[in-house]
Amino acid sequence: MLSSVAYAILWPLTVIRIALEIGLMRIASSIPVLKDKIKRYNEKFLLVPYEDFWQSWCSWKMLNAVVQLTLADLNKTARLGSSAPNYFMVVYINEAHPSDGWRWNNNVEIAQHKSLKDRCAAAEILKSSGCPAPVLVDTMKNEASVAYGAWPERLFIIQRGKIVYEGGTGPYNYDLTEVQRWLEEYKAKQL
């Protein structure tokens, strides 16, 4: 966790940097030629149809969400090589794109959880979609999410209580093939 002095310095700098980046993207996206390039890039890499995200692209809700994600990453206590705090399998945390916040169109309609009962109901939707791993639910204080900087999602590999692999925040800053490769290399060393 960051010291209060470091946090006081990094918080405004982070907000300013992200606001500038998002503002520049919003301006660039108003120029037809650039908008078309941004659209093609996003549809290729975000894997979300253009119509589902364009209205919320670079919005104030997106700015807030990106700032929260960046600060969560700065504050996480789970770090590569460190002891894993209360490690779990799949932990359902606060909703990444709630129907009452920054969201994609045509997404599953789940409001931000107001109670543990709400979060458990949302986790049941995940389980019913065919999630192959056990699904646990984070506390309403978001203890697992804070410890792992997991919002909106993040992958870790934990071995004997130590973090041996830390992915970037998902879904676009980690690579499932990288996780698979790490596991295959580990398995090969064991043989």
Q: Where are the domains of the chain?
A: 1-75, 90-190
Per-residue pLDDT for 82 more than 60?
yes
* Per-residue model confidence (pLDDT) at position 77: 75
Q: Give the mean model confidence (pLDDT) for residues 33-56.
A: 73
Query: In this structure, how many other beta carbons lie within 10 angstroms of the beta carbon of residue 98?
Result: 17
Per-range mean pLDDT, top range of 8-12, 64-68, 81-85, 166-170:
166-170
Q: Between 186 and 108, whose confidence is greater?
A: 186
Q: Give the mean model confidence (pLDDT) for residues 140-157.
A: 89
Per-residue pLDDT for 175 more than 90?
no
Query: How far apart, in whole angstroms, are the C-alpha atoms of residue 70 and residue 10?
Result: 10
Q: Give the mean model confidence (pLDDT) for residues 176-189.
A: 90
Query: In this structure, how many other beta carbons lie within 10 angstroms of the beta carbon of residue 124?
Result: 13
Q: On the CB side of 27, how many CA atoms lie within 13 Å of its CA?
A: 6
* Per-residue model confidence (pLDDT) at position 112: 92
* pLDDT confidence band for 51 (50 / 70 / 90): low
* Per-residue model confidence (pLDDT) at position 85: 67
Tokens describing residue 20: 């500038």
* Per-residue model confidence (pLDDT) at position 150: 86
Query: Which stretches within the chain are classed as H helix?
Result: 4-28, 32-45, 50-53, 60-75, 116-128, 143-148, 176-190
90-190: what CATH class? Answer: alpha beta
Query: How far apart, in whole angstroms, are the C-alpha atoms of residue 146 and residue 167?
Result: 15
* Per-residue model confidence (pLDDT) at position 28: 78
Q: Give the mean model confidence (pLDDT) for residues 75-82.
A: 78
Per-range mean pLDDT, top range of 13-17, 21-25, 151-155:
151-155
* pTM (whole model) above 0.75: no
